[in-house]
Amino acid sequence: MSILEGKSVLVTGVGPGLGRTIAYEAGRLGANVAMVSRSTTLMEEVAGEIEKMGRKALIIQADITSQDACNAAAEKTQAAFGRIDGLVNSAYRPGDLAPVNEIDLDVLLSAFDVTVIGTLRMIRAVVPVMEQQGGGSIVNVGSQVARKVVQHQGGYASTKAALASLTRYLASELGPKNIRVNTPAIGWTMSAPARAWLEDQAAQGGPSVDETVAAISSTMALGRIPTDEECAHGVLLPLSDLFSAVTGATLDVNGGDYMPL
């Protein structure tokens, strides 16, 4: 299956969580992949895996809290691949895991600077390229917690809710340029950050990781937590031509845990 064959995709936030899997799967589905992160260690590993599949991989060390860095990332991607067909905004900063009224507001501001404003910086950097080439597709990775309350996730949820709202406005504004903008709302995964959070909850006297996983799975129609690969596919499908008429949409990728009208 090569639904991204011949496309060039730029992925931000390629770290130990879902971003790494998104980049790898983009290559496996046929794309050349540019990766953006503050650290090169994991990107080097993923780049090697992508190149073994016969695709091109580009490593860009950058901080998306800088517009100049975002502009440079877009320029490097265009120079290497000739175009930017897709942008996946996966970079985020979770902020405090605490009740909303106890969140450090400076920490929350920092989370918004990465998750929301950083995403807008990257979009502003790639839109001129996409417009010049006749179109493109942008995916802002969202989260189920923006709509379904999870204890102590209010700060993180607020950044993803803002991103979901901006996605709809961007879809309307960029549609005439043939640029689609969508957001997958990712539910539970067993990525490294998610497992670390479960382990932290257990260490504070909560249920064991296995007990929590069983409880979470019991609420899902599929009876299991989706894999990172499955979630990555939900992120990448909107970049394909199969979704050419889809924009401004929220795609729930959660195993049937949350089913809004």
- CATH code of the domain covering residue 142: 3.40.50.720
Is residue 81, in this structure, part of any structural domain at all? Answer: yes
Judgement on whether residues 38 and 63 belong to the same structural domain of the protein: yes
Q: Is residue 260 part of a domain?
A: no
Q: How many domains does the chain have?
A: 2
Does 86 fall in a domain? yes
Q: Are residues 82 and 30 in the same domain?
A: yes
Mark whether 178 and 211 lie in a shared domain. Answer: no
Q: What is the pTM of this model?
A: 0.95
Residues 75 and 201 in one domain: no
- How does pLDDT run across 213-261, given as a tens digit for each residue? 999 999 999 999 999 999 999 999 999 999 999 999 999 999 999 999 8
Same domain, 209 and 135: no
**Structure confidence at residue 241 (pLDDT):** 97
Let me know if residue 37 belongs to a domain: yes
Residue 134 shares a structural domain with residue 196: no
Could you give the C-alpha distances from 89 to 102, 126, 163, 167, 217, in angstroms and in order?
28, 11, 10, 11, 27
Nearest of 86, 119, 127 to residue 240 by alpha carbon: 86
Q: Are 194 and 173 members of one domain?
A: no
Q: Are 222 and 256 within 8 A, CB to CB?
A: yes
In contact, 251 and 183? CB cutoff 8 Å: yes
Domain around 213: 190-225
According to DSSP, the β-strands at 179-186 and 136-140 are parallel
pLDDT at site 231: 97
- DSSP secondary structure letter of residue 115: I
Same domain as 184, residue 201: no
Summarize the chain as % helix, strand, coil (round to 5): 50, 15, 35
> How would you write the pLDDT of the chain (261 residues) with one tens digit per residue?
699 999 999 999 999 889 999 999 999 999 999 999 999 999 999 999 999 999 999 999 999 999 999 999 999 999 999 999 999 999 999 988 899 999 999 999 999 999 999 999 999 999 999 999 999 999 999 999 999 998 889 999 999 999 999 999 999 999 999 999 999 999 999 888 788 878 988 999 999 999 999 999 999 999 999 999 999 999 999 999 999 999 999 999 999 999 998
- Encoding tokens for residue 19? 């971003």
121: nearest Cα among 164, 62, 76, 169: 62
Overall residue count recorded for the chain in this entry: 261
**One domain for residues 180 and 152:** yes
Residues 38 and 161 in one domain: yes
Say if 137 falls within a structural domain: yes
Would you state the pLDDT for residue 1?
Answer: 60
Residue 15 lies in a domain: yes
Identify the pLDDT of residue 133: 98
My answer on whether 211 and 144 are in the same domain is: no
Position of tokens 């450090």? 104
One domain, residues 199 and 145: no
In a domain, 114, yes or no: yes
DSSP letter for 88, please: E
